[in-house]
A and B are shown apart, each in its own frame.
Chain A
Amino acid sequence: GAVVSQHPSRVICKSGTSVKIECRSLDFQATTMFWYRQFPKQSLMLMATSNEGSKATYEQGVEKDKFLINHASLTLSTLTVTSAHPEDSSFYICSALTLGFTSNEQFFGPGTRLTVL
Chain B
Amino acid sequence: KQEVTQIPAALSVPEGENLVLNCSFTDSAIYNLQWFRQDPGKGLTSLLLIQSSQREQTSGRLNASLDKSSGRSTLYIAASQPGDSATYLCAVVATSGTYKYIFGTGTRLKVLA
- Chain A interface residues (CB < 8 Å from chain B): 1, 6, 32, 34, 36, 43-46, 49, 57, 91, 93, 95, 97, 103-111, 113
Within 51-100 of B, Cβ neighbours of A (below 8 Å) are at 51, 89, 91, 93, 98-100
Contacts of B93 in A (CB 8 A): 104
Within 21-78 of B, Cβ neighbours of A (below 8 Å) are at 31-32, 34, 36, 41-44, 46, 49, 51
Contacts of B103 in A (CB 8 A): 36, 43-45
Q: Evaluate contact between A95 and B101: CB separation under 8 angstroms.
A: yes
Knowing A43-B89, A105-B49 touch, does A49 contact B43 (C-beta < 8 A)? no
B60 CB to closest chain A CB (Å) equals 16
Knowing A49-B100, A57-B98, A97-B99 touch, does A104 contact B32 (C-beta < 8 A)? yes
How far apart sit A46 and B93, CA to CA, in the bound complex (Å)?
12
How far apart sit A23 and B100, CA to CA, in the bound complex (Å)?
17
A-B interface, 9 closest residue pairs, ranked by CB to CB distance from nearest: A110-B43, A111-B43, A108-B44, A44-B103, A43-B103, A43-B106, A43-B105, A46-B100, A105-B49
Knowing A43-B106, A44-B89, A109-B43 touch, does A104 contact B99 (C-beta < 8 A)? yes
Please, which residue of chain B has its CB at the minimum distance from the CB of A104?
B31
B19 CB to closest chain A CB (Å) equals 20
Knowing A34-B100, A34-B101, A43-B104 touch, does A93 contact B41 (C-beta < 8 A)? no
List 18 other contacts, CB 8 Å, given A46-B102, A103-B32: A1-B46, A6-B43, A32-B99, A34-B101, A43-B103, A43-B104, A43-B105, A44-B103, A49-B98, A49-B99, A57-B98, A103-B49, A105-B32, A105-B34, A106-B34, A110-B42, A110-B43, A111-B43
